[in-house]
Amino acid sequence: MSFLFSSRSSKTFKPKKNIPEGSHQYELLKHAEATLGSGNLRQAVMLPEGEDLNEWIAVNTVDFFNQINMLYGTITEFCTETSCAVMSAGPRYEYHWADGTNIKKPIKCSAPKYIDYLMTWVQDQLDDETLFPSKIGVPFPKNFLSVAKTILKRLFRVYAHIYHQHFDSVMQLQEEAHLNTSFKHFIYFIQEFNLIDRRELAPLQDLIEKLGSKDR
């Protein structure tokens, strides 16, 4: 959760998305942080008893956006148009951007450009009250799960890019423990609710298996 980074630089790539204090979602976030503090990530991602699945996914999606925002914010100076002319995750995986609205046909662009498009798009989804209602009693739309899955699939690509192209910089900054904990939490969460197709995870499959085996 975001509290993992409280001792570090507060620099973020995009403005942090806040969950309103006093709201039920804020209480859920606090519950998640408390369970995470216990160190058992498998348990921490489980749906709390009596809670709504959509709301739990919404709260965690916002939190993962904030975490990735902060992690990418620490390495933006190393991720440039020159160093990362394409958005890739190693030599075998390259991503082209399309959002279906402003850019309908996938375009090839640099990693910083792609991640800017991606994080701006995610931010727009999170700020849309019809998709991510923050008020009690306002129902989630029928397509919520599909939107959340697309958001998480795209956020995964930022982790994949950081691990493949910038892990040396992460180590120089001594942020690898934060990155690994954040990614492990993300993976356990998407596995718990089957939110990302296994094929999409291929660029980091070895790492995912390694992180999972440590808990067995």
- Residues at the binding site for Zn(2+) are 79, 84, 161, 166
The residues that bridge with 88 in the sheet, in sequence order, are 94
> Residue 81 in contact with residue 87, Cβ under 8 Å?
no
Q: Which residue has the tokens 């718990």?
A: 192
Q: What is the dihedral of CA 72, 74, 80, 86, to 10 degrees?
A: -20
- State the Cα–Cα distance between residues 94 and 157, nearest whole angstrom: 10
Which residue numbers belong to the known binding site?
Answer: 79, 84, 161, 166
Q: How many Cβ atoms from other residues are within 10 Å of residue 27's Cβ?
A: 14
Contacts of 215 (CB under 8 A, 6+ apart): 41, 42
φ/ψ of residue 93, rounded to 5: -125, 125
